[in-house]
Structure 1
Amino acid sequence: MRIVVAKCQVDYAGRLTAHLPMATRVLMIKADGSVLVHSDGGSYKPLNWMSPPCTLREGTTEDGVVEWTVTNPKTDDTLRILLTEILSDSSHDLGVDPGLQKDGVEKHLQELLAEHPATLSPGLTLVRREFPTAIGPVDLMCRDGEGVSVAVEIKRRGEIDGVEQLTRYLELLNRDPLLTGNGAVKGIFAAQEIKPQARVLATDRGIACAVVDYDALRGLDDPSHRLF
């Protein structure tokens, strides 16, 4: 990542036009090619930006002013930045980012529900976490009290995309005679919050919905019962 602090003027032209008069700002050029213009206020959002893929060309005007021209090959949009004074210019290799880790993300929910599957439905027992399919792993494969296989998809926020994902899993799983010996594979869509539209779609497709109380699950998680 390259970070430049400079007195600059910014003009954006294309699907819309925007102008930022001369002022001291932070310019960020990220490894993915994006260019962002930040001020010292306005929360986290940039004042203007160009999303990747884009190309940055550096040059000078006839008056000797440093000029950046950022273009996107897929559009006619252009971001033109005139830098009259560069106060700082540094580059840093940030490496590969592991991603944001939140308390209560899907992975931790999956771990807790794998230990306590009966909180989703009475009599439910775990067969395997990350059960493999041709289109990706099912979060939990379980069995109910009658021996019927149950696929569980876990999300922090239950939306339509998650229901569609579980539907695709169920279509594949129900082709496996080893899973359907006691009846068709059922589905449970589990999340801390399930959007009304997702619930309607799940119900229409015969998929059960389970709202997960993360704090209650953590209360069931007793570290004294662990070996490590």
Structure 2
Amino acid sequence: MPLPALRHFALLLLCLPTLALAQSPSTEWQAYEDALSRGARQAELWQLGWSGIYAGSLAWNAWQASEASDDADRFDARVGVVKSTLALGGLFLDPQPHPAAHRRLQQGDGDLEGARRLLREVAEEERRRRSWQARLSSLAVNGVAGLAIGVGDDRPEDGAINFATGMLVSELQLRTQPGQAMAAVNRFQPTRLTFGELRLEGEYAWLVAPQRLGVVLRY
């Protein structure tokens, strides 16, 4: 960086109301606790909401499977019963990690490094749940359902609609999952500072608040 530009940058930093050059352990701990707390609340709402949706769908399809007057509607309802049952079972067999992680953090002994590891584990689980591999199960279930209707019941258009609708619902379920841990982890980015012979490696993040603007360094 040219010397004049460096001077201007230094002057800008000096003019900031508050410049944080290091993040205290208590502040970092509070940020992690806040991320997992908000994630746990969203996870509970997410679980309740989608459980209610799939339970309602299961009840409706079960009734339609026996009471619908049209053969095609009864067939579609039986397919819907299977899909709703699988989706409902998946919610209970593979719950979100945030409530358990938040309890672990609260029950911990204040180990900051342990809190960092815990948050990284939850963030990795969030990434896994949003990866393309996470979509394979819904692709398989909706693909089989679409083929059952389109080929098995000789209604290709209805089969395509069932497949597309199922994939849309699955994508919506995936995208509404909690993501607070990833946001907290991604807040800090690796950096390297050099002052003559002194070299520091750490992480930085912008600190933005109504009365504060600065840079947080963690090393």
**Which structure shows the bigger proportion of residues in helix conformation?**
2
**Higher strand share goes to which structure?**
1
Instruction: State TM-score, norm by structure 2.
Output: 0.22
Give the TM-score of the pair, scaled to structure 1: 0.21
Larger relative CO (CA 8 A, sep 6+): 1 or 2? 2
